[in-house]
Amino acid sequence: MNDKFNIIGHIKWELHDKDGNLKDWGEHSNQVQHDVMNYFSDMLVSGTVNTIDEMAIGSGSGQTASATALASHVSHEAISSGSGLTDKGTDGVEAQASFTNVAATITEAGLFPDGYAGGKMYFYNDSAFGSGVTLQTSDTLTITWSISWS
């Protein structure tokens, strides 16, 4: 028997103005980083793993699957189980964070264990934002990341 294990990430974002009106949105599949593959190995061997605890946004692009950080960090938000990180059982995991008080053009996002500066990145996307999503300080950018496996 030759079973194959696949991890799939999908990112969806919505940009709202200060009054809650939808200004823009997008969605795209994402790149799975080598660190997340190491996560599953660590889980099977040692039982000790670091869970996703931050989502970050940036203004760079071009990170490879072995990258451990965004190309150009702008902001990050803590997430945890029950506060932005949801276990969907056999259907996977969903991570969500909202970014406010940020004035930048966003072109990339990532999910991280051990905080943004921890040296590992599990998921990365620099395609969902097209040529960039411009945030004003009064805007709110909400990103929902769905992670599933089969």
For residue range 54-78, what is the model confidence (pLDDT) as tens digits? Answer: 999 999 998 887 888 999 999 999 9
Q: Where are the beta strands (DSSP E) in 1-139?
A: 7-16, 22-29, 31-32, 52-58, 73-78, 80-81, 84-87, 93-100, 104-106, 108-113, 123-125, 133-135
Overall average pLDDT of the 31-44 stretch? 59
* Identity of residue 101: N
Q: Which of 64-73, 115-124, 125-134 has the lowest mean pLDDT?
A: 115-124
Q: How far is the C-alpha of 123 from the C-alpha of 89, rounded, in Å?
A: 19
Is residue 112 within 8 A of residue 85, CB to CB? The reply is no
Q: How far is the C-alpha of 16 from the C-alpha of 9, rounded, in Å?
A: 23
Look at residue 122 and tell me whether its pLDDT is greater than 80.
no
Is residue 133 within 8 A of residue 93, CB to CB? The reply is no
Q: Where are the alpha helices (DSSP H) in 6-135?
A: 34-45
